[in-house]
Structure 1
Amino acid sequence: MRNRLFHRSGWPELSRLAVALGLSIAAGAALAQSNASGVIFGHLANPEGATVRIQNLDTGLTRDLGVDSQGRYRAASLPVGRYRVSVERNGQVAESRDNVQVTLGSGVDVSFEEGAASNAGAKTLEGITVTGNALPAIDVSSVDSRTVLTAEQLQKLPVARDVTAAALLAPGVIAGDSRYGNVASFGGASASENQYYINGYAVTNALTGLGFTSLPFDAIDQQQIFFGGYGAEYGRSTGGVINIVTKRGGNEWKAGVGMYITPQYFADSPRSIYRKNGQLYQYRANNKTSSMQYTGYVSGPLIKDKLFFYGAGDFTRTTGHTVGTIQAPQDASQVSKATKWLAKVDWNITDNNILEFTGLSDKTNTERSIYGYDYQTLQATQYLGTDKLKNFDAGPGSAPGGDVYIGKYTGYLTDSLTINALYGQSKTEHVRDLGYAGSPNCPWITDSRSNAPNTIVGCGLVNGTVLGPGAEDKTHGWRFDVEYQIGSHDLRAGVDNQTLESFSGQQYEGGYRWVYRNAGTVPGRPDIQPPPGTQYFVEKRLFQTGANVKTEQEAQFIEDKWQVTDRWMAYLGLRNEQFKNLNGDGQTYVKQRHQLAPRLGLTWDVFGDSSFKIYANAGRYHLAIPSNVAIRGASASTYYSEYYLYDGVAPNGEPMNLQPLGSRIYLNGEDGTTPDPKTVAAKNLKAYYQDEYILGFDKQLSTDWTFGAKLTYRKLLSSIDDFCDSRPFEKYAARNGIDISNASIPGCYLFNPGENNTFMVDIDGQGHLVPFKLTKEDFTSPAGIGFPDLKRKYYALDLYLEHQFSDKWYGRVDYTFSRSYGNSEGQLKSDIGQLDPSVTQDWDAPEIMQFANGPLPNDRTHQLKAYGYFQATPEWMFGANLSVASGRPKNCIGLDPVDAIQYGASYFECDFKPSPRGSKGRLPWTYQLNLNTEYRPLWAGTSQPLAFTMNVYNVIGKQEEVGIIEVGETGSVDADGHPVKSVDYQRPIAFQRPRYVQFGVRYDLSL
C-alpha cells in the first residue's frame, strides 16, 4: 500500500509526509519504552495553539497532550496497538494520521511539518502504517539490539508454534544443548543466563533458570528479543531477554478457532544411533510422534471504550513411541496432554488511568506405558509399569509450566509524568509417579561385574535419580517506576523486586542404588576386606536431597535519555542489584549488595531524517546464583556408601542375605545435617557479571530496503562455581600453624574462580570458625598446577539486509560471524550436559582446568538466517525460513596420568596427552529450510475469515549431528597402563529433527 501511495499523482504531498515521518530526533526526547509498551512522539512546525490527541483505534483510549514551545510532544507507556494521532486547533482537527502502529519497546515518530498552513481545514492522511518494519525503517530512538516479531509475522512465517523457535530467528541466537530441553543460547552465554517476561512479569524457571512458563501461541501480540544493549530496567541476565506482550480485547467482538495436525505418517524416521565401531546403540526408526492441537480465542468489550476481555487457549494431545538404548532396553508408549490458557482484562478507568489483569496457565500431563525391549528381535516384551509426570518432562531442561497472575496499573498523571506499577505471582507443581508391574520396591541396579554368568537386571523404569515428592516452584514480585520528562531529558527511576521459592530434591529410584562388583580392593577404603575366595560383593548407595529454598532479588534503577542535540541522543543508566540466597532452614548463605551496573548509549541521526543511524552502547549485566545451588550445596542432604557380601538376588534385582563389609562412609560430607551457612561460600562473594560493548549502524537504501552492521564484544568478568578440593586449606593451615585435624570442611565451596577467596573454616568441628584467606597461589596443586584466570569472551559481526513489506513481499537476511571462547561456558557445562547451574564440574580442582581454554560449546563461527513471505494473490501466501550454521566444537575428555583428585575421565587430555578444548574439529554444518503456504478462499467471505495452512519443516531432510559424547576414555587403564578407550566416544546424542509436516485450519469471525 505504501508503495502505491508513493507513486500516484499526489506524490509531492506524500513525499513531504515521508520526510516528516523520518524526522524522529528533531522531535526532542524521542525515546522508547521497553517493558510492555511503546511511545509516540513528534514535532509540529507551528506549535502555537495546538493540542495533540492520541486515540487507540481498538479501545478508544484517548490522551490529549500539550506541545512545548519548540513544537515537541511525547506520549509514553502506550499499550501496543493501532492509534490515530491528531493535531487540534481551536477545538477542530487540523491534521491527523490514522493507523499508527506502536510496537513493543519502540518509539514512533509522528510529526506534522505542514501544520503552519493547516488551519484552513482538516487534512487526513489515512492508511500509513508506521512500525519497526515499515516507515520509518530505522528507530533512531533506541541504543539496544533487538528483534520484534508481531503476531502477523509469527502467523506468516514457517516457525514452530513456540516462543523459543521464534527467538531463534534473531541473529546471534542458537539452540542450546539438547540435554537442556528446548532452550536457546544468546551471544555465547550458557542457556540458563536468559530472562523471560510476559506482560512485564518474569516467568523464568525459578529453580535453574532453564526454560519458562509459556502461553497460547496465538495469544502473542508481539515478541521482543533482546540480544544486547538493553537498558537499566532489565537485569538478572547475561545472555538475552525475551519479552512478550499478549493480545487484548477491543471495541469489536471477535472470535476464532483453529486446528493443527502433525501426523507421524508424513514425518521422516529419526536416525538410529550407532557407536563409531558400527554397533547399534539405539534403534529409533519408529520413534515418532503425532500431535493434534485445538486453539481458540474470543475478545471484545464488556463495556465499550472502558472494559475489555481477551481469552485464548491451546489444547494439545501428543502421542508417541520411543525405544530406549541398549543400556536401558525399554519401549515406551507416551500420551501427553498440554493445556495452555490466557485471560486478560483491560480497564480504562479514565483516559489517564489504566488497569490490566492477566492470568495464564501452562500445564502438561504425561503418561508413559513402559515395556521391556528385545534388541535381538527389535520387539517389545513384557509390561514393566507406568510413568506419570505433571509439569515435568523426561528432559531436564523442560519448561516449568504452572499458573501465573499479573496485575498492572499505568497512570498518566500529567503530560510529563507517568507511573507504572506491577505485581505478579506464579506457582508450579511438579509430580512424578512411578508405577510398577512387579514389586513396588524397584531400586537402581547396576551390574559392573566382569565375566559373570548372568547379568543382574532390576525392575526399575528409570535407573537413575528421580524427582522427590512435593516438588513445586513459587514466585512473587513487584515493580514500580516513575517517568518524568523535563526539557530535553526523559528521566525514569524504578524498583524491581522478585522472590523465587522452590521445594525440590532428587533421590535414587526405589530409594537405593545397588552396584554389583568384582571383589577386590576399594580405593580409599582399607576397611573393605572381603574374605579370600570371594568372587563378588555389592555396594549400596543412598542419595537423597530435598529442601525448600529461596532467592530474593531486589533492584533499583535510574536512567536519563538525553536529547543532546537534534541529531544526538545519549542514554545514561544505572542499575543497583541485591541478591540473597537462603537454604532449606531459611538461613542466608550468600548475600550480595550494591551490584552496580552502569549502562551507557549514544545514537547519531547522521542526516537528521532517520535514514542513517550510528549507535554505540556499553553496559554491565549481573546474574544471581540460581536457587538449585542451595538444594544440595547449602541444605541438608544425605549421600552414603556401604559394602556387603551377599548370597542370592531377589526378582527385583536386590541382593539377599547381606553381611556388612566395613563401615558406612558419607560422601562429600553429606550426612543429613545442614552445613553452617557461613561455611558454604566465600566471604564477600562477588556476583556473576559481564561487560558488553556494541557499535553499529542502520542505513536506508530506499523506502523499502534497509541494511546494517553491528560489532559486539562480551567479556565475563566474574563467575560463581564450586570447588571441591581440601588441599588449599591444608596448605594455608600448615603455613599459618593452624591445627585442622578435627576440622569440618564441606565437600565443596562456592567461590569466584581464578581469584583470591576468603573462607570461614570450622577448624575443630565444634563451630569455631576461622577465616582462611586463600590467595590464587594457595589453590595451586602440589604438582604446581594452578587455576587459570577466568575467561569467557564473545565477539561478533552481524550484517543484515531487510526488505519491508511492499510489492507483495517481506524478507530479511542476517549473517553473523562470531567466536565464543575461553575456559568456562558459564553456569552450565554442555561438554557433558551437566545440569547443575553454578556448581559444575569445572573449577572443582586446578587439575581439571588444564588445557580448558578454547572455543566454547555455544560457539558457531558462521550463521546465516533468511526468512520472509510472499502474498502471491489475495488467496495465496507463501513463506520460507532458512537457517545455516557451522558446527559445534568437538573435544576429547579423558584421564589424567596422575588423576590426583580421582575424577576419572574428566580432563582435557586423551592418551595421557593434552587435548585442548575444541582441538578435535567441528561437528558438521547444519542446513534447515522450512516452507509454508496459506490459502484464504474468497468463497468463504469478503473478509477471508477461513485459512488453510501447511508447514513443512526441514524440507531438505538433513539430520546432521548436533551433539555427541565428548568423553573419550573410561577412566581406567589396561594391563599396559594405557587409558582404556570409551566405546561411546563421539557417539551421537542428538540430530536435527527429521522432516515433518503440519496441517492447519483457522476460522476468524467478528461477532
Structure 2
Amino acid sequence: MHSTLRRAALCVALGAALSTGIAHAQSNITGIIFGQAEPGTTIVIRNTTTGLSRTVQVDANGRYRATSLPDGMYTVTQQRGGESLSVRENVAVTIASGTDVSFTARADMQDLDRVEVRGTYIPVTDVSQTDTRTVFTADRLERLTVGRNIQSVALLAPGVVQADSRYPNTASFGGSSASENAFYINGYAVTNPLTNLGSTTLPFDAINQMQVITGGYGAEFGRATGGVVNIVTKRGGNEWEFGGLVTYTPSGARATYKNIIYPDNGTASDGLVYQKRDEHSVNAFSYGVSASGPLIKDRLFLYAGGEITQQEQVGVLARPGNAQNGYQASDYDIPRWTAKLDWQISDAHLLELTAVSDVTKESVSYYGLTYDPGADTYQFGDRKTGGYLYEDGGELYIGKYTGYLTDSLTLTALYGTQKQDHTADPVGYDPSVVYVSDSRSIANPVQRGSYAQLAFPDAYDETKGGRLDLEWSAGDHLLRFGYDRHDSESRDGQVTSGPGYRWVYDTCGAGNGGTPIPGGGGALCPGGSGDYVSQLRYANGGTFSVKQWGYYVEDRWQVSDNVLLSLGLRNENFENYNADDVIYVEQKDQWAPRLGVSWDVRGDSSLKLFANAGRYHLAMPNNVALRGAAGSLYTNEYFAFTGIDPVTGVPTGTTPLGDGPYSTNREYGQAPDPASVAAKGLKSHYQDEVALGFESTVGDTFTYGARYVYRRLQSAIDDMCDYRPAYRWAIDNGYSEDVADNLGNALANCRLFNPGEANTFQLDDGSGTLVEVALSKEQLGFPELKRNYQGLDLFIERPFNGTWFGRIDYTLSKNYGNAEGQVKSDIGQTDVSQTQDWDHPELMENANGYLPNDRRHYIKAFGAYQITDEWRVSATASLASGRPKNCMGYYPDTPENEEFNALYAYGGPYYFYCNNQPTPRGSAGRLPWTKLLDVGVAYRPDFAGSRLEFGLDVFNVFNSQTEQNRIEYGENGGPGVPYNQAGRVVSYTTPRYARFTIRWDL
C-alpha cells in the first residue's frame, strides 16, 4: 500500500494529509471526509466501529467528498482497480465538521518515493467551515474537570457567559439574553417550549459529541439569535462494551456557604442576616451504567445507558422580623436514560432510533425558624409548615433515515416527538379550606391555609416535528435543500386554592366611611373602624401552541482549490395560538440570507481566513400567550363584616360595599380578542451578525486564531401598557371622551408591539368593536431599540498528543444598548417577551448603557495531562470581569411629573433615577471579577488493565465566593427614601466542593 508523493508532502504522508480539497460543511449531526487524490482512483471509507462502508470516486480534478457520515473513527483507503494504494487510519469525524484526508499534494512539489501512509492526524484547521464552533468529544469530557451538565460544558466555549442566576442552567451567547439559544439532541430541537430557557437533558455519559456554535451558523439552522448547542449521543458498534460510573459529592467536603447580609443603608436591618446560607447543605450521589454492542454484526447496533442522581439539600431563609422565616429541605430523585438503535440496512441506507427520558422528582418540605434579634440566634423548629411534591419531565423519541442514493445525492429525513408533564402536588392540601390573609397592621392578623394559588395539576409541554434534507454534489458545488417544522404545545396556569376564592382583610381607617376604597371600582369604605374584607378570585392559563417551519437552500461553492464560498437563504414562518386555538401573532416569509467564505491561504489547511454574515429570527415561546392572550379572571368583591369565624377565619355578617365583583384589568375570565393582543403586522425578534477571523497551526503542535464578531438586534417584541398614546390619538381624530378613554384603557392592558418604531394597534372602543389605531414612533414616545454586541475572541489550543491537551481563550467584548432581549436580568424577570421594559416611555429614560450580560474581559482555560499510564491531572479555570450595576428608583417627584406620577407611574423603584437624579444604565459601577479554578486527578491502576478509574475533582479550589448579582432597586417608599435591601447580594458563586468518581469499563 504505497503512493507516489511530492517531497514537500513527506510529513503529510507520514502523519496527516494537509493538502486542500473540496471542503463543504455538513448537517448538524453528521460530518464529512473530503480531499484530493489521484484522478480516476476510488476512495473507500470505512467506520472502524460499525463497519459502515462508503465508496466514492475521485473526479477529473482530483477531488472527492463523502458527506452525511455518522460521527466516529474511520479508515480511508485510496484504491485503483481494487488494489490499495494508501491508507489513512484513525480519521475522526465530528458533527457538522469536515476532515481533510488528501493523498496527493500540489503540482509544484517534487516526486517522492512510494511510502506507506498510516497514523493519526496532526492538528489542522477545518477549512470546510465558515462559522465558529467548539466540539467536545466524549473522550475530552471524560478527561476534563467540568460539571456533568450541558451548561457547564457550554460555558467553556468562547463568547459564552453565565446568565443571571435567577435563570438556572442557562447561558448568554454573544451578548444575547438567556432565552435566545437553540438546543438539539440527535438533530431534534429540545429547547424549553414554554419559556425558551434551558432544554431537555440526558445522562451525561450518553453524550458522544457536543458542539457549541457561537455564531455564523448556516441556513439549515434557525430560531436562535444567541447560540446553538448540538448533541449527538453514543451509538453501539461491533464490539460489546459495558461501563459504569459512581459519583459522590458529600456535604462534608463542601466549604461553608457565605451568608447574605443586609447592606449598610442606614436602616434598622443594617448588617443583619438576610439569608443564613452557612446552614445550607448539599449531599449528592449518582450512579450509572451503560451497554453497547451489535445485535447483528455490521448491521444492527444498540446503545443503552442510564443514571440516577439522588440529592439532599437544605436551604435556610432568615429574614429578621419577617413571618416567613423558615428553612427548606429538598430531596431530589433524578432518573435519566438514553437508548439508541442503529440499523445499517445496507451501506446505502441507515436508520436510527433514539429514546431519551429526562425526569426530575423533588420533595420539598418547609419548616419554621425563629430569630432572636437580641441574641442574634436562630431556633430551628421541627414543625412542618408545608411542602410540595414536584415531578417534571418525560420521554423524547427520534427517528432518522439517511439514504446515500448515489455518490452525489444524499437524502436525510428526521421526525421526533416529546411529552413532558409538570405536576406540583401540595403536601397536606385540603381543598375545603379557604385561604385567608390579613393586610391590616394589627397584632394578630388572620391567617388560614398554606396555599393561596395552585398550579394547573395537568400542566405539560409537548413538541413534535421533523425535517427533510437533500444534498446534491455537483462538481464544485454542494447544493443543499431542506424543510423543517417544529410544533409545540404547552398547558400552564394558576387557580385560586380551595373553592376558587380567598378572603383578604384590609382597612380604610377610622373616619373614612363613605370614601372610595382605593382601586375598588366604586366600592365605598364602611364606617366605624373602616375594616373591610374582599373576596378575591383569580384564574389564568390554558393550552397554547406555537408552530414554526422553514425551508432553505444553500450552495457550498468551491470557487477554487483554496476558496470556499457558502451562499444560503432561509425562510422562517411562525404562528402563535391562544387557548382557543386561534392565531394571535404570525410572521410569514421572513427571509434570512447567510453568507460565508473560507480561504485556505497556503493550500494545506494550516491557515484559514474566514468571514460570515447572516440574519437570524426567533419566535416567541408559549408563555407569551399565558400572560398576553389567555383568559384571565381577576376580580375583587368588597364587604363590610361583623365578625370572623375563629376556626375558619371566614368573615360573618357580610354586607356588600359595591356593585359586585370588580376587575381592574376589565376582564372577567374571557380571553381578549386575538386581533387586539398584538400590533398589526408584528415583526419577529431578529438579529444581524457579521464576523471575520483566522485560524492557523504552529508546526505539528498548536492551533491558534482570532475572531471579531458584531451583532445588532434589529427588532424585538415586548409589551407596552401606556394609556396616553391611544387616548391622544382618539381625541386628535375626533372621537368622544368616552371612546378615547376606552381605547386608552385597552392599550393600558398591555399589548405586544415592536419597540422603538411605529405600530398599529386594534383596540376595543368599549362596544366590542375594534378600532385601528396607527401610532408613529413619535406618538408612542419610545427611543430606538438598541442592543449591539462586539467581541474579539483569541485562542490557542494544543490537541491531545497522547500526553496532554489544553486550550486558552480570551474574549474582549462590549454589550451595549437599552434592550437585553426577551428577559430582564436587572430584576430577574422571566416573562419572556413581556418584560417591564417598554411598558411606558419613562421606563426607558436613561436605559442606554452596558447591558447585564456585558463581561468586558473573559479568560477561559482547560486541559489535562497524562503523567503516566496510571495518573492523569486536569484543570479548568475562568477569570471574568463583573457585570454592570444599576441604581433604579422612583420617577422624579417634580412639578412637571406630577400628572404622570399621579395617574400612570408604577408605584415602585423601576426607573433609571435615584434621589430624583438620572442614573443611566450601568453607571453604578461593576460587580467584582469572578475567579474560579477547578482541578482534578484520576488514577487507572495497572492491575485493573486500565478498565477501572478513581477520580477526585475539586471545584472552586480557592473558595472564591463572588457575588453574581445584586438588588438594583435603590429606593423604596418614594424618591429619596432608602431601600434597606439596596445593593443586597442575590447570589454568590458556589463554594468549594469535591466530587469523587469511580468509573469502570468492561
Check whether TM > 0.5. Answer: yes
Which residue pairs with 2:209 in the alignment?
222
1:743-802 alpha-carbon deviations (Å, 9 max, x no partner): 472611111111111112232423x323111111222xxxxxx21010111111111111
User: In the TM superposition, what is the alpha-carbon distance from 1:369 to its structure 2 partner?
Assistant: 2.4
Which residue pairs with 2:927 in the alignment?
923
Which residue pairs with 1:484 in the alignment?
472
Q: Does 1:546 align with 2:546?
A: no
User: In the TM superposition, what is the alpha-carbon distance from 1:270 to its structure 2 partner?
Assistant: 1.3
C-alpha distance 548-124 of structure 1, shift in aligned 2 (>3 A): farther
C-alpha distance 620-314 of structure 1, shift in aligned 2 (>3 A): same
Q: 1:350 aligns with which of 318, 328, 346?
A: 346
User: In the TM superposition, what is the alpha-carbon distance from 1:317 to its structure 2 partner?
Assistant: 0.8
Kindly indicate whether the alpha-carbon contact (under 8 Å) linking 1:21 and 1:136 is maintained by their aligned counterparts in 2. Answer: no
Which residue pairs with 1:903 in the alignment?
906
Which residue pairs with 1:955 in the alignment?
957
Q: Does 1:415 align with 2:407?
A: yes
1:937-974 alpha-carbon deviations (Å, 9 max, x no partner): 00112xx100001111111101111011112222x33x
Which residue pairs with 2:390 in the alignment?
389
Kindly indicate whether the alpha-carbon contact (under 8 Å) linking 1:249 and 1:346 is maintained by their aligned counterparts in 2. Answer: yes
Separation in 1, partners of 2:261, 2:523: 39
Any gaps of 5 or more consecutive residues in structure 2?
1-5, 264-269, 373-377, 510-515
Q: Does 1:453 align with 2:430?
A: no
User: In the TM superposition, what is the alpha-carbon distance from 1:648 to its structure 2 partner?
Assistant: 3.5
C-alpha distance 653-612 of structure 1, shift in aligned 2 (>3 A): farther
Which residue pairs with 1:634 in the alignment?
629
Separation in 2, partners of 1:275, 1:325: 11
Separation in 2, partners of 1:957, 1:652: 50
Kindly indicate whether the alpha-carbon contact (under 8 Å) linking 2:521 and 2:662 is maintained by their aligned counterparts in 1. Answer: no
C-alpha distance 645-909 of structure 1, shift in aligned 2 (>3 A): farther
Q: 1:406 aligns with which of 398, 412, 424?
A: 398
Which residue pairs with 1:934 in the alignment?
938
Separation in 2, partners of 1:627, 1:14: 59
User: In the TM superposition, what is the alpha-carbon distance from 1:880 to its structure 2 partner?
Assistant: 0.3
Mapping of residues 257-296 of structure 1, within 5 Å: 257-276=244-263, 277-296=270-289
User: In the TM superposition, what is the alpha-carbon distance from 1:512 to its structure 2 partner?
Assistant: 4.9
Letter in 2 for 1:353: H
User: In the TM superposition, what is the alpha-carbon distance from 1:567 to its structure 2 partner?
Assistant: 1.4
SS of the residue aligned with 1:358?
A: strand
Mapping of residues 485-634 of structure 1, within 5 Å: 485-508=473-496, 511-512=500-501, 515-520=504-509, 522-525=517-520, 527-534=522-529, 536-634=531-629
Which residue pairs with 2:705 in the alignment?
708
Letter in 1 for 2:905: Q
Q: 1:858 aligns with which of 847, 853, 858?
A: 853
Q: Does 1:23 align with 2:10?
A: no
Separation in 2, partners of 1:801, 1:649: 73
1:518-570 alpha-carbon deviations (Å, 9 max, x no partner): 42565454734323442544454433212111100010011111111111111
Of residues 895-904 and 859-868 in structure 1, the stretch that sits farther from structure 2 once superposed is: 895-904
Q: 1:51 aligns with which of 14, 38, 42?
A: 42
Separation in 2, partners of 1:93, 1:79: 24
Separation in 1, partners of 2:141, 2:12: 33
Separation in 2, partners of 1:21, 1:498: 41
SS of the residue aligned with 2:779?
A: helix
Kindly indicate whether the alpha-carbon contact (under 8 Å) linking 1:384 and 1:438 is maintained by their aligned counterparts in 2. Answer: no
1:212-265 alpha-carbon deviations (Å, 9 max, x no partner): 110010000000001100001001001111000011000000001111011101
SS of the residue aligned with 1:969?
A: coil
Separation in 1, partners of 2:298, 2:292: 14
Kindly indicate whether the alpha-carbon contact (under 8 Å) linking 1:32 and 1:38 is maintained by their aligned counterparts in 2. Answer: yes
1:374-393 alpha-carbon deviations (Å, 9 max, x no partner): 123331242223310001xx
1:355-410 alpha-carbon deviations (Å, 9 max, x no partner): 0000000001111222222123331242223310001xxxxxxxxx3210000000
Kindly indicate whether the alpha-carbon contact (under 8 Å) linking 1:384 and 1:436 is maintained by their aligned counterparts in 2. Answer: no
Letter in 2 for 1:62: S
Which residue pairs with 1:242 in the alignment?
229
C-alpha distance 958-654 of structure 1, shift in aligned 2 (>3 A): farther
Separation in 1, partners of 2:544, 2:348: 41
Separation in 2, partners of 1:749, 1:257: 53
C-alpha distance 71-732 of structure 1, shift in aligned 2 (>3 A): same
Of residues 622-631 and 741-750 in structure 1, the stretch that sits farther from structure 2 once superposed is: 741-750
Of residues 304-313 and 741-750 in structure 1, the stretch that sits farther from structure 2 once superposed is: 741-750
Of residues 530-539 and 494-503 in structure 1, the stretch that sits farther from structure 2 once superposed is: 530-539
Letter in 2 for 1:956: F
Separation in 2, partners of 1:273, 1:295: 36
Letter in 2 for 1:380: G
Separation in 1, partners of 2:167, 2:645: 37
Q: Does 1:846 align with 2:817?
A: no
C-alpha distance 420-430 of structure 1, shift in aligned 2 (>3 A): same
User: In the TM superposition, what is the alpha-carbon distance from 1:586 to its structure 2 partner?
Assistant: 0.7
Letter in 1 for 2:871: W
C-alpha distance 439-483 of structure 1, shift in aligned 2 (>3 A): closer
Letter in 2 for 1:473: D
Separation in 2, partners of 1:563, 1:805: 31
Q: Does 1:432 align with 2:420?
A: no
User: In the TM superposition, what is the alpha-carbon distance from 1:123 to its structure 2 partner?
Assistant: 6.1
Of residues 512-521 and 791-800 in structure 1, the stretch that sits farther from structure 2 once superposed is: 512-521
Separation in 1, partners of 2:929, 2:172: 18
SS of the residue aligned with 1:800?
A: strand
C-alpha distance 872-515 of structure 1, shift in aligned 2 (>3 A): farther
Mapping of residues 180-329 of structure 1, within 5 Å: 180-276=167-263, 277-326=270-319, 327=322, 328-329=324-325
Separation in 1, partners of 2:54, 2:521: 82
SS of the residue aligned with 1:666?
A: coil
User: In the TM superposition, what is the alpha-carbon distance from 1:890 to its structure 2 partner?
Assistant: 1.0
Q: What is the TM-score with the length of structure 2 in the denominator?
A: 0.92
Kindly indicate whether the alpha-carbon contact (under 8 Å) linking 2:574 and 2:619 is maintained by their aligned counterparts in 1. Answer: yes
Among all aligned residue pairs of Structure 1 and Structure 2, give the percentage whose two residues are the same amino acid: 47
Which residue pairs with 1:137 in the alignment?
124
Separation in 2, partners of 1:652, 1:322: 31
Q: 1:70 aligns with which of 54, 61, 73?
A: 61
Of residues 283-292 and 519-528 in structure 1, the stretch that sits farther from structure 2 once superposed is: 519-528
Separation in 1, partners of 2:209, 2:449: 49
Separation in 2, partners of 1:118, 1:81: 34
Letter in 1 for 2:190: V
SS of the residue aligned with 1:617?
A: strand
User: In the TM superposition, what is the alpha-carbon distance from 1:689 to its structure 2 partner?
Assistant: 0.3
1:422-452 alpha-carbon deviations (Å, 9 max, x no partner): 000000000000023888636374x5444x2
User: In the TM superposition, what is the alpha-carbon distance from 1:661 to its structure 2 partner?
Assistant: 3.1
C-alpha distance 525-368 of structure 1, shift in aligned 2 (>3 A): closer
Kindly indicate whether the alpha-carbon contact (under 8 Å) linking 1:581 and 1:588 is maintained by their aligned counterparts in 2. Answer: yes
Aligned residues: 959
1:819-871 alpha-carbon deviations (Å, 9 max, x no partner): 11111111001111111100111111111111111111111111110110110
Which residue pairs with 1:893 in the alignment?
888
SS of the residue aligned with 2:386?
A: strand
Which residue pairs with 1:397 in the alignment?
none
1:303-334 alpha-carbon deviations (Å, 9 max, x no partner): 00000000000111111112224242222222
User: In the TM superposition, what is the alpha-carbon distance from 1:649 to its structure 2 partner?
Assistant: 6.8
C-alpha distance 997-449 of structure 1, shift in aligned 2 (>3 A): same
SS of the residue aligned with 2:890?
A: coil
Kindly indicate whether the alpha-carbon contact (under 8 Å) linking 1:20 and 1:112 is maintained by their aligned counterparts in 2. Answer: no
C-alpha distance 119-795 of structure 1, shift in aligned 2 (>3 A): closer
SS of the residue aligned with 2:367?
A: strand
Q: What is the TM-score with the length of structure 1 in the denominator?
A: 0.92
Of residues 452-461 and 425-434 in structure 1, the stretch that sits farther from structure 2 once superposed is: 452-461
Any gaps of 5 or more consecutive residues in structure 1?
1-9, 392-400, 780-785
C-alpha distance 540-127 of structure 1, shift in aligned 2 (>3 A): farther
SS of the residue aligned with 1:478?
A: strand
User: In the TM superposition, what is the alpha-carbon distance from 1:589 to its structure 2 partner?
Assistant: 0.7
C-alpha distance 524-114 of structure 1, shift in aligned 2 (>3 A): closer
Separation in 1, partners of 2:730, 2:847: 29
Kindly indicate whether the alpha-carbon contact (under 8 Å) linking 2:7 and 2:110 is maintained by their aligned counterparts in 1. Answer: no
Which residue pairs with 1:760 in the alignment?
762
